[in-house]
């Protein structure tokens, strides 16, 4: 195969998915319908107040807040794959950068909506900007999530510029779309200066996004750690949340990898080797998270202070025991063990493990939020029985699903308008490989 | 069920028995107080005014007379005041009980004036059809003749109360008058020592604690309550500088995490702004970089 | 065609400068007009400000239009009520003492409170709890209002200043500001806060009423409510609703600065610190550093036995620990 034909093949392979086809329309239509149903449920909540949920004066944060934490957590993966691995010279992760960034952007953008859905007075959202109190972790959260969203969008966009140029030239799309691609590609010519600018700004973002990403999840952990409640009143909550975020984010990337590889026929680009590597990464981040879990539950379990003992018993052998142990074992320990075997680091087993971990990650947030709220310092008395033990309602579950659907929609759209694996970087990679080969031959 | 009902009935019977025989006899009202009569006529007008006072001060425990809605969680259960047990007491006994209080029954002498207390009794008597009032010949207007002067001796830390009466025969000292000394507080009057009787010179002395907080200048309002068999009761107040000057700062004075935005600690404001500015700087740089990319491309000939 | 193409090119620079000049002058004129307008408004305002005497005998300058609204009943002006409610009363530091030896679970406090603040039956600004601290210690009834902490964890986390501490120590909420995030519920270690999950119970009859921060009525759907130390009553020199309603002499309320508290049942006023000293007064969970303004006297020498029927509920927590 000549060099030219290789280049053409890569370009056409990676650009092929960017077109409207029936499977996309059906999938998107399904998502749209599902979203409508969920938004209808939210409409009911707007009309009747949060009383349509299972929340009460004691468990006043429930599924919505767990969901919010999950969203913020998952969005952190952009920083891990693109920034940390990128800066530390882990070249193997480069093809995943765009998938990770798309996931990060989608989850970060919707996280804000999740928290709005939890508000009793969503129409007063602007109060946060008009009367914002700098001491409140919520103001910090709103600020850093906005910043992370902007930075993630730029992190996605800037390395995408060369690809946009290719899109505008090579894609068979209506003229107005071509024009949009062209405008967005900012007169990209591939000059040395332009390449340098892209490289520099990508580097600046990659460095800046690390503290921002740490901040979003640390600040989110402050929503809990800055209170005095048992189970939340912990100084390691920041790193505990951040490491947990890497686990759920990696799981999301694994699932996305599998889906895109299969649907977009990208087996040559999202290789089995890549699955193998990301599987190892998963083991690493899960082990770190497991370590934090040991700390978080063993220390209070050792001392058994009055209120903490009540919470620990509830988790270990009480009402929440089944969920707690499922999350810890099926969502963390078993995946670690499985992924130690090379056979398990193949696409299909990884997909299953990815789902296990992601589901575990969601319920882990639930386990952090709800049991603590069920055990305040003073006894719960003279209130309806339903306020003592939290049970989510159907409406609540539907409203919780809405942002998930939105995330899927955003990812679907983004993956339909831009190449999911960077074309220009793949070409560059090809060039450098050939150069190296050429030099070897000489 | 039958058993439980029986118990309740039995308990009620027993308690009513106790209330009527023991509880009310237990008050040990002195003979002279027992014979005391009201100088206020018990008619519809005084009963009406008494009802208002009653509803505010008494109804929470004694309920509405004849309605059986007394506060049953109390021990002893307070009697319904329209009951025979209560109505068989003399006006003087009722007045004594109302004035002195006991246990959970407040001492209304410090809360209600003589006149108000008689009006409450007028209201209570309105539930007794057969009651005939014996009016006292006491003239409440005589209270106007009393003159009270209050002085503070800083050396001995004593408040001296001096009571004189401006009789036709001339100014005379009022002896054996019951004097209470109070300090006005925001929600009520704080009594200093117990009530005392004036001596032959119409005087009495209270030791005044040195640690009573006053206002910024240490000024405190002193209230003297006087009660005398012949002259009735009066209340007189004076402002004296005998308290501890108190000017505590507002609790919201200092900067604190829990304060409003205007009272936020500087370090948190700085930390927050530093983050936002860092973001601003990076954002500006990126916009600049993007602009440069765009420009360097367009400079080239098409 | 060629003329048309050339013309703009020729005119570009000169026209650009001309345009610039026009835009510049326009901006100047517009700007000065706005400036003059703003200044005129300011002067107009200054002329229309008048001095009034507030309830605390302080001279305050207010706008005349504001006065027109507040002059009739001040209680109908939201801005005035919010400002007054946020500031609190100068020179005061309100405190409450709850004498546990006297509480018999009569719950008159809860009823009076719910009525005054238009709450649903399951919403408690004050809640009488059945407590037992360990297996062999006695059970007792413990009324628990908001502790009005001097280091309040709830106001610390509020993102919009909707809950705040006043200079007189009372922690209030402004439900016209509250966004319903419920962070304050999570932050409060005393479970003192309640939320309007549904439409408030009296929302129909309260419609059109001007919101009073110090009473938190009308209650609003999707906002927080909690014990207010009856700030509206206290402003009038009256004892809080719960304190006055108690038939058992459990509550004392007063001003720490005056070192005096008044019993709600007997209306007797006593020295605040002496009452604490004589009876071993304490605060709830002092280890949290919240510095409550509510003090408790221990349930020593109870005149009333703890009810048999309540024992199981009081012990419930002991089974789990």
On whether any CB of chain A is under 8 Å from the CB of C77, the answer is no
On the question of pLDDT at C185 being above 80, the answer is: yes
Q: Which of B216, B250, B255 to mutate to test the interface with C (most CBs of C within 10 A)?
A: B250
B68 vs C253, more confident: C253
User: How confident is the model over A35-48, as pLDDT tens digits?
Assistant: 999 999 999 999 99
- The two three-digit tokens of residue A148, written as one number: 């992370």
Tell me, what's the pLDDT at C71? Answer: 46
**Per the CB < 8 Å rule, is A318 touching C158?**
no
Task: Tell me which chain A residues have a C-beta less than 8 angstroms from the C-beta of B302.
Answer: none
Q: Which residue of A has its CA nearest to B283?
A: A151
Average pLDDT over residues C123-134: 95
User: How confident is the model over A255-280, as pLDDT tens digits?
Assistant: 999 999 999 999 999 999 999 999 99
Task: Tell me which chain A residues have a C-beta less than 8 angstroms from the C-beta of B276.
Answer: 143
Tell me, what's the pLDDT at C45? Answer: 45
DSSP assigned state of B79 = P
- The two three-digit tokens of residue A331, written as one number: 């969502």
- The two three-digit tokens of residue C295, written as one number: 């003090």
On the question of pLDDT at A4 being above 60, the answer is: yes
**What is the fold of A23-429?**
Formate dehydrogenase/DMSO reductase fold (1.20.1630)
Cis? peptide before C272, omega within 30° of 0: no
The structural domains of chain C, with segments of one domain joined by +, span: 50-86, 91-320
**Per the CB < 8 Å rule, is A143 touching B298?**
no
Tell me, what's the pLDDT at B10? Answer: 59
Task: Tell me which chain C residues have a C-beta less than 8 angstroms from the C-beta of A377.
Answer: 189-191, 285
On whether any CB of chain B is under 8 Å from the CB of A151, the answer is yes
On the question of pLDDT at C1 being above 50, the answer is: no
On whether any CB of chain B is under 8 Å from the CB of A290, the answer is no
The C-alpha of A82 sits at a distance from chain B's nearest C-alpha, in angstroms, of 17
Plot region of B100 (φ>0 → left; ψ -120 to 50 → alpha; else → beta): alpha
Task: Tell me which chain B residues have a C-beta less than 8 angstroms from the C-beta of C152.
Answer: 258
Tell me, what's the pLDDT at C70? Answer: 45
Q: Which residues of chain B have pLDDT under 70?
A: 1-25, 298-302
**Per the CB < 8 Å rule, is B189 touching C168?**
no
The structural domains of chain A, with segments of one domain joined by +, span: 23-429
On the question of pLDDT at C238 being above 50, the answer is: yes
CA-based nearest residue to C191, from A228, A404, B76:
A228
**Per the CB < 8 Å rule, is A193 touching B285?**
no
Task: Tell me which chain B residues have a C-beta less than 8 angstroms from the C-beta of A161.
Answer: 293
CA-based nearest residue to A286, from A330, A326, A317:
A330
The C-alpha of C111 sits at a distance from chain B's nearest C-alpha, in angstroms, of 12
On the question of pLDDT at C59 being above 70, the answer is: no
Subunits with at least 3 CB pairs below 8 A relative to chain C? A, B
Q: Which residue of A has its CA nearest to C285?
A: A377
Task: Tell me which chain B residues have a C-beta less than 8 angstroms from the C-beta of C161.
Answer: 260-261
Task: Tell me which chain C residues have a C-beta less than 8 angstroms from the C-beta of A226.
Answer: 156-157, 187
Which of A182-191, A313-322, B236-245, C246-255 is predicted with the least confidence, judged by mean pLDDT?
A: A182-191
Number of cross-chain residue pairs from A and B with Cβ atoms under 8 Å apart = 78
Contacts of A118 (CB under 8 A, 6+ apart): A61, A64, A65, A68, C181, C182
Task: Tell me which chain A residues have a C-beta less than 8 angstroms from the C-beta of C313.
Answer: 379, 381
What percentage of chain C has pLDDT greater than the value 90? 65
Mean pLDDT of chain A: 93
**Per the CB < 8 Å rule, is A204 touching B293?**
no
Average pLDDT over residues C217-229: 95
A202 vs B108, more confident: A202
User: How confident is the model over A84-101, as pLDDT tens digits?
Assistant: 998 998 889 889 999 999
DSSP assigned state of A216 = H
Q: DSSP readout, A348-405?
A: HHHHHHHHHHHHHHHHHHHHHHHHHHH--SS---SS-GGGTS----HHHHHHHHHHHH
Please provide residue B117's backbone torsions phi and psi, each rounded to the nearest 5 degrees.
Answer: -65, -40
Tell me, what's the pLDDT at A368? Answer: 96
Task: Tell me which chain C residues have a C-beta less than 8 angstroms from the C-beta of B251.
Answer: 93, 150, 165-169
**What is the fold of C91-320?**
Alpha-Beta Plaits (3.30.70)
For A189, which of B259, B289, B297 is closest by C-beta distance?
A: B297
The CA-atom distances, in angstroms, between C13 and each of C4, C18, C180 are 16, 9, 58
**Per the CB < 8 Å rule, is A191 touching B300?**
yes
Tell me, what's the pLDDT at B16? Answer: 52
* A318 burial type by CB count under 10 A (0-12 exposed, 13-18 middle, 19+ buried): middle
ipTM above 0.90, yes or no: yes
Pinpoint the alpha helices (H) of B31-166: 31-34, 44-57, 59-62, 84-87, 91-100, 114-125
**Per the CB < 8 Å rule, is C186 touching A384?**
no
Q: Which of B265, B266, B282, B295 to mutate to test the interface with A (most CBs of A within 10 A)?
A: B282
What H or E segment, with its residue span, contains residue B234? strand B232-240
Q: How confident is the model at residue A434 (pLDDT cuts 50, 70, 90)?
A: confident
**Per the CB < 8 Å rule, is B279 touching A212?**
yes
The CA-atom distances, in angstroms, between B18 and each of B70, B76, B147 are 16, 9, 46
What percentage of chain B has pLDDT greater than the value 90? 44
**Per the CB < 8 Å rule, is B286 touching A188?**
no
A163 vs A442, more confident: A163
Task: Tell me which chain C residues have a C-beta less than 8 angstroms from the C-beta of A53.
Answer: 197
**Per the CB < 8 Å rule, is C161 touching A135?**
no
User: How confident is the model over C63-106, as pLDDT tens digits?
Assistant: 555 544 444 455 567 788 888 999 999 999 999 999 999 999 99
Task: Tell me which chain B residues have a C-beta less than 8 angstroms from the C-beta of A158.
Answer: 286, 289-290
* C44 burial type by CB count under 10 A (0-12 exposed, 13-18 middle, 19+ buried): exposed
Collapsing DSSP to helix, strand or coil, B280 comes out as: helix
Q: Which residue of C has its CA nearest to B70?
A: C247
User: How confident is the model over B136-157, as pLDDT tens digits?
Assistant: 888 878 888 889 999 999 999 9
Which residues, numbered 243 to 302 in chain B, qualify as contacts with chain A under a Cβ-Cβ cut-off of 8 Å?
A: 257-261, 264-265, 268-269, 272, 275-276, 278-279, 282-283, 285-286, 289-290, 292-298, 300
Tell me, what's the pLDDT at C10? Answer: 46
Q: How confident is the model at residue A442 (pLDDT cuts 50, 70, 90)?
A: low
The C-alpha of A217 sits at a distance from chain C's nearest C-alpha, in angstroms, of 17
- Residues in chain C, overall count: 321
For B258, which of C151, C247, C260 is closest by C-beta distance?
A: C151
Number of cross-chain residue pairs from A and C with Cβ atoms under 8 Å apart = 154
**Per the CB < 8 Å rule, is A229 touching C186?**
yes
Q: Which residue of C has its CA nearest to A319?
A: C320
On whether any CB of chain A is under 8 Å from the CB of C190, the answer is yes
Subunits with at least 3 CB pairs below 8 A relative to chain B? A, C
On whether any CB of chain B is under 8 Å from the CB of A144, the answer is yes
On the question of pLDDT at C227 being above 90, the answer is: yes
On the question of pLDDT at C61 being above 60, the answer is: no
**Per the CB < 8 Å rule, is C248 touching B188?**
no
Instruction: Find the chain B residues whose C-beta atoms sit closer than 8 A to any C-beta of C.
Output: 60-61, 71, 73-75, 101, 104, 106-107, 110-111, 183, 185-191, 211-213, 215, 246-248, 250-253, 256-261
Tell me, what's the pLDDT at C72? Answer: 46
Rounded to whole angstroms, how far apart are CA atoms A34 and A26? 12
Q: Cα A401 from chain centroid?
A: 15
Average pLDDT over residues C291-320: 90
Domains of chain B (ranges, CATH numbers): 2-125 (1.10.760.10), 140-240 (2.60.40.1940)
Tell me, what's the pLDDT at B296? Answer: 85
**Per the CB < 8 Å rule, is B272 touching A150?**
no
The C-alpha of C66 sits at a distance from chain B's nearest C-alpha, in angstroms, of 24
User: How confident is the model over C144-181, as pLDDT tens digits?
Assistant: 999 999 999 999 999 999 999 999 999 999 999 999 99
For C197, which of A50, A228, A376 is closest by C-beta distance?
A: A50
On whether any CB of chain A is under 8 Å from the CB of C313, the answer is yes
Q: Which residue of B has its CA nearest to A184?
A: B294
User: How confident is the model over A345-398, as pLDDT tens digits?
Assistant: 999 999 999 999 999 999 999 999 999 999 999 999 999 999 999 999 999 999
**Per the CB < 8 Å rule, is C161 touching B261?**
yes
């Amino acid at each position: 195969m000549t060099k030219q034909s290789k280049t053409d093949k890569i370009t056409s392979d990676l650009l092929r998915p960017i077109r409207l086809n029936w499977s996309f329309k059906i999938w998107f239509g399904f998502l749209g319908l599902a979203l409508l149903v969920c938004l209808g449920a939210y409409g009911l909540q707007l009309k009747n107040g949060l009383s349509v949920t299972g929340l009460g004066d004691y468990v006043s944060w429930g599924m919505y807040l767990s969901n919010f934490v999950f969203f913020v957590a998952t969005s952190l993966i952009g920083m891990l794959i693109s920034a940390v691995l990128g800066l530390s010279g882990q070249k193997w992760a480069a093809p995943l950068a765009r998938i990770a960034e798309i996931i990060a952007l989608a989850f970060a953008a919707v996280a804000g909506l999740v928290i709005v859905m939890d508000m009793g007075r969503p129409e007063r959202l602007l109060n946060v900007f008009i009367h914002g109190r700098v001491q409140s972790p919520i103001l910090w959260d709103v600020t850093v999530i906005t910043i992370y969203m902007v930075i993630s969008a730029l992190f996605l966009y800037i390395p995408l510029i060369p690809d946009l140029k290719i899109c505008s030239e090579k894609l068979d799309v209506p003229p107005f779309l071509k024009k949009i691609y062209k405008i967005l590609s900012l007169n990209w010519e591939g000059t040395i200066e332009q390449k340098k600018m892209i490289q520099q700004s990508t580097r600046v973002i990659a460095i800046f996004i690390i503290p921002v990403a740490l901040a979003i999840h640390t600040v989110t952990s402050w929503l809990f750690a800055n209170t005095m409640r048992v189970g939340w009143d912990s100084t390691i909550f920041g790193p505990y949340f951040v490491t947990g975020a890497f686990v759920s984010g990696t799981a999301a990337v694994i699932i996305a990898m599998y889906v895109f590889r299969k649907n977009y026929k990208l087996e040559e680009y999202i290789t089995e080797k890549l699955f193998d590597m990301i599987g190892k990464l998963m083991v690493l981040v899960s082990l770190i998270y497991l370590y934090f879990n040991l700390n978080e539950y063993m220390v209070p379990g050792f001392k058994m202070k009055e209120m903490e003992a009540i919470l620990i018993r509830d988790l270990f052998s009480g009402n929440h025991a089944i969920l707690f142990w499922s999350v810890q074992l099926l969502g963390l320990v078993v995946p670690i063990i499985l992924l130690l075997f090379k056979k398990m680091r193949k696409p299909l087993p990884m997909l299953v493990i990815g789902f296990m971990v992601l589901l575990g990650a969601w319920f882990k947030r639930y386990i952090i939020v709800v049991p603590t709220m069920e055990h305040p310092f003073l006894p719960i008395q003279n209130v309806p029985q339903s306020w003592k033990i939290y049970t989510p309602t159907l409406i609540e579950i539907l409203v919780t699903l809405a942002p998930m659907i939105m995330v899927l929609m955003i990812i679907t759209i983004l993956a339909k308008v831009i190449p999911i694996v960077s074309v220009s970087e793949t070409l560059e990679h090809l060039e450098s490989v050939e150069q190296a080969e050429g030099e070897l031959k000489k | 069920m039958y058993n439980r009902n029986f118990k309740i009935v039995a308990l009620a019977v027993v308690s009513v028995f106790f209330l009527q025989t023991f509880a009310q006899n237990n008050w040990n009202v002195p003979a002279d107080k027992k014979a005391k009569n009201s100088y206020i006529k018990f008619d519809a007008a005084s009963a009406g005014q008494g009802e208002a006072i009653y509803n505010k001060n008494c109804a929470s425990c004694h309920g509405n007379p004849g309605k059986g809605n007394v506060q049953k969680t109390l021990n002893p259960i307070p009697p319904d005041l329209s009951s025979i047990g209560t109505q068989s007491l003399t006006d003087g006994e009722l007045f004594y009980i109302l004035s002195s209080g006991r246990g959970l029954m407040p001492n209304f002498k410090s809360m209600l004036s003589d006149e108000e207390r008689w009006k409450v009794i007028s209201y209570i008597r309105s539930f007794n059809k057969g009651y005939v009032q014996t009016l006292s010949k006491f003239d409440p207007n005589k209270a106007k003749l009393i003159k009270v002067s209050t002085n503070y001796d800083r050396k001995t830390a004593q408040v001296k109360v001096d009571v004189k009466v401006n009789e036709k025969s001339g100014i005379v000292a009022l002896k054996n008058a019951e004097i209470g000394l109070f300090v006005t507080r925001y929600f009520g009057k704080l009594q200093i020592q117990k009530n005392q009787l004036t001596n032959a010179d119409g005087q009495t002395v209270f030791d005044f604690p040195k640690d009573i907080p006053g206002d910024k200048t240490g000024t405190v309002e002193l209230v003297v309550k006087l009660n005398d068999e012949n002259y009735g009761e009066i209340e007189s107040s004076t402002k004296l500088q005998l308290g501890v000057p108190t000017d505590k700062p507002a609790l919201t004075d200092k900067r604190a995490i829990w304060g409003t935005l205007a009272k936020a600690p500087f370090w948190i404001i700085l930390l927050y702004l530093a983050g936002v500015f860092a973001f601003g700087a990076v954002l500006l740089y990126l916009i600049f970089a993007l602009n440069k990319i765009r420009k360097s491309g367009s400079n080239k000939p098409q | 065609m060629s003329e048309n193409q050339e013309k703009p090119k020729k005119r570009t620079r000169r026209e650009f400068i001309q345009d610039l000049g026009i835009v510049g002058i326009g901006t100047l004129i517009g700007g000065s007009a706005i400036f003059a307008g703003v200044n005129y408004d300011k002067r107009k305002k200054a002329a229309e400000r008048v001095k009034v005497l507030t309830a605390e005998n302080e001279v305050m300058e207010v706008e005349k239009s504001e006065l027109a609204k507040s002059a009739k009943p001040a209680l109908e002006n939201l801005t005035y009520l919010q400002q007054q409610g946020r500031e609190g009363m100068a020179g005061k530091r309100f405190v409450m003492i709850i004498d546990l030896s006297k509480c018999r679970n009569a719950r008159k406090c809860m009823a009076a409170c719910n009525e005054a603040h238009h709450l649903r039956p399951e919403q408690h600004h004050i809640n009488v709890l059945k407590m037992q601290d360990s297996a062999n210690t006695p059970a007792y009834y413990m009324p628990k209002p908001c502790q009005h902490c001097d280091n309040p964890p709830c106001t610390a986390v509020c993102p919009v200043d909707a809950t705040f501490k006043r200079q007189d120590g009372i922690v209030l909420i402004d439900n016209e500001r509250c966004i319903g995030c419920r962070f304050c519920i999570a932050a409060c270690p005393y479970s003192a806060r309640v939320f309007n999950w549904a439409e408030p119970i009296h929302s129909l009859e309260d419609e059109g009423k001007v919101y009073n921060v110090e009473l938190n009525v009308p209650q609003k759907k999707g906002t927080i409510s909690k014990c207010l130390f009856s700030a509206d009553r206290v402003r009038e020199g009256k004892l809080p609703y719960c304190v006055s309603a108690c038939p058992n002499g459990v509550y004392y309320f007063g001003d720490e600065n005056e070192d005096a508290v008044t019993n709600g049942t007997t209306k007797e006023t006593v020295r605040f610190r002496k009452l604490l000293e004589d009876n071993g007064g304490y605060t709830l969970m002092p280890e949290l550093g919240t510095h409550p303004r509510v003090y408790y006297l221990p349930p020593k020498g109870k005149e009333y036995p703890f009810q048999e029927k309540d024992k199981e509920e009081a012990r419930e927590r002991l089974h789990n620990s």
